[in-house]
Amino acid sequence: MRGRLIAILILVASCGGTSLPSGVDGGSDAGSDGGPSSSCNDRASAIQQWIDSNQGCQHDSDCTYSPTACGLSTACGAFIAVSATTMLKLLSDQYRALACGPINCACPALYPAIACNSGVCGNQH
């Protein structure tokens, strides 16, 4: 798990500038076949890995439901440790900046009830 975290932080550090990567003009970051490019897939993978490795908890107050980005499997948001929300926001903002997914997605008006369930953040049971 520590190795995965280091890899994610290296990925984020290499993308920390304010300019878009070369070849990205602010439009869709589509690959040659019209599907998402590898940079979009890499960002989506980094986001999912960050979520997966930051759902541990001891108390309900350790957890939150944090917004992500449209086009991800967690398009509306994800259950995550409170301490991991800043990085999730940064990764999601980078994903949106590359125009990887749609601008808007239909999300519920109310966020789900949040709890720590046997050491993992999730829906309150």
Look at the chain and count its residues: 125
Tally of CB atoms within 10 A around 83? 12
In a domain, 24, yes or no: no
In a domain, 87, yes or no: yes
In a domain, 78, yes or no: yes
**Residue 50 banded pLDDT, cuts 50, 70, 90:** very high
The tokens of 27 are what? 């439009």
In a domain, 19, yes or no: no
Q: Could you tell me the CA-to-CA distances from 97 to 44, 79, 93, 100 in Å, in that order? A: 13, 23, 6, 8
Say if residue 122's pLDDT is above 80.
yes
Instruction: Work out how many domains the chain is built from and give that number.
Output: 1
Structural domain harbouring 117: 36-123
In a domain, 104, yes or no: yes
Say if residue 88's pLDDT is above 90.
yes
In a domain, 10, yes or no: no
Pick from 37, 13, 42, 16: nearest CA to 27: 37
In a domain, 108, yes or no: yes
Please tell me what DSSP assigns to residue 112: P
**Residue 60 banded pLDDT, cuts 50, 70, 90:** very high
